[in-house]
């Protein structure tokens, strides 16, 4: 394995995606041809019942060197948050980009994000479909349900970002690992836990424009999953406020982050 860390790790969770991995293949071909910096691809198969893992391995083996990709297979379905956690903890890149397997947002969007700046070691960038410069292709009912959920988030948490659920998020390696390491919510509401923790740690959260094309997914039941996410969000808010064990773990996390910040400042790194 190449000992020099790649500039960015692409972490892609998959669950029963075998029939849609052609979108991943097409996106990676374009990314490989146009992205000038080093990168690695980590696909996490979240306990799929189809041949997602084998298909992903075939695609990546055809496009990349062995040192530049890995397929992680989870024995049981853990949920999107759990799959992302496995990939983020294995990532070697200076930055970690999480994105959805359907490629609703293309990885080359990073080129636009990096045109004028890159994230500091104390900030994360999150794709926002409500950003004034975003270009969105989605059905109106998806936009409405997303708006209702984000209203709930703003009511019960300190999170004020207008789009918490976009899968396209960029983390400096250390922050990504700190946020994901002790992830409690492994399902769709994991984003809220990550952003809640980021706020607690004093990490800057920057909303970025995306070009987003919604891809229908029969595995998602909008109403049922939305209710689960709402319940998990309220539960998480309760933990942050009242659960002593959870708050002690947060304090340890904050102390670790502060120690890292001191080390980075002393070394003069980004």
Cα 60 from Cα 247, distance rounded (Å): 41
pLDDT value at 35 more than 90:
yes
Q: What is the pLDDT of residue 218?
A: 58
Strands (E), the chain: 8-14, 39-46, 69-74, 95-98, 123-128, 135-137, 169-172, 204-209, 211-213
β-strands 169-172, 95-98 pairing: antiparallel
pLDDT tens-digit series, residues 67-117: 899 999 999 999 999 999 999 999 999 999 999 999 999 999 999 999 988
Range 8-267 has CATH code 3.20.20.10: no
Q: What is the pLDDT of residue 143?
A: 64
Cα 92 from Cα 72, distance rounded (Å): 14
Cα 58 from Cα 221, distance rounded (Å): 30
pLDDT tens-digit series, residues 157-173: 989 998 999 999 999 99
Cα 251 from Cα 152, distance rounded (Å): 26
Helix or strand or coil: residue 95? Answer: strand
Environment class of 5 (CB within 10 Å of its CB; exposed 0-12, middle 13-18, buried 19+): middle
Tell whether pTM > 0.75. yes
Structure tokens at 132: 């004034």
pLDDT value at 1 more than 60:
no
Cα 75 from Cα 102, distance rounded (Å): 22
Q: What is the pLDDT of residue 132?
A: 95
Q: Where are the domains of the chain?
A: 8-267
17: pLDDT confidence band, cut at 50, 70 and 90? very high
49: pLDDT confidence band, cut at 50, 70 and 90? very high
Q: What is the pLDDT of residue 217?
A: 66
Cα 43 from Cα 72, distance rounded (Å): 6
Average pLDDT of the residues in 124-148: 83
pLDDT value at 223 more than 80:
no
pLDDT value at 53 more than 90:
yes
- Decide: 197 and 179 in contact? Cβ < 8 Å: yes
Neighbours of 174 (CB within 10 A): 18
What is the per-residue burial (b if ≥16 Cβ within 10 Å, else e) of 88-116? bbbbbbbbbbbbbbbbbbbbebbeebbee
DSSP-derived letter for residue 204 is E
Q: What is the pLDDT of residue 3?
A: 74
Q: Supply the mean pLDDT for the chain.
A: 90
């Amino acid at each position: 394995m190449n000992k020099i860390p790649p500039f960015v790790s692409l972490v892609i969770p998959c669950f029963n995606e075998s029939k849609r991995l052609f979108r991943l293949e097409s996106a990676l071909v374009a990314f490989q041809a146009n992205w000038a910096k080093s990168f690695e691809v980590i696909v996490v198969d979240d306990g799929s019942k189809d041949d997602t893992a084998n298909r992903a391995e075939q695609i990546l083996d055809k496009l990349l060197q062995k040192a530049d990709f890995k397929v992680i297979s989870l024995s049981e379905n853990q949920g999107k948050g759990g799959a992302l956690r496995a990939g983020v903890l294995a990532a070697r890149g200076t930055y970690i980009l999480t994105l959805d397997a359907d490629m609703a947002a293309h990885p080359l969007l990073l080129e636009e994000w990096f045109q004028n700046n890159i994230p500091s070691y104390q900030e994360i960038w999150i794709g926002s479909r409500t950003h004034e410069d975003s270009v969105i292709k989605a059905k109106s009912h998806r936009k409405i349900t997303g708006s209702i959920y984000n209203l709930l988030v703003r009511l019960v948490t300190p999170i004020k970002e207008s789009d918490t659920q976009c899968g396209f998020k960029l983390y400096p390696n250390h922050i990504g690992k700190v946020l994901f390491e002790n992830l409690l919510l492994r399902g769709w509401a994991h984003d809220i836990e990550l952003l809640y923790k980021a706020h607690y740690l004093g990490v800057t959260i920057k909303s970025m424009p995306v070009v987003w094309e919604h891809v229908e997914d029969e595995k998602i039941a909008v109403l049922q999953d939305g209710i689960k996410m709402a319940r998990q969000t309220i539960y998480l808010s309760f933990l942050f406020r009242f659960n002593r064990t959870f708050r002690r773990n947060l304090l340890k996390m904050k102390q670790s982050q502060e120690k890292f910040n001191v080390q980075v400042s002393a070394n003069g790194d980004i």
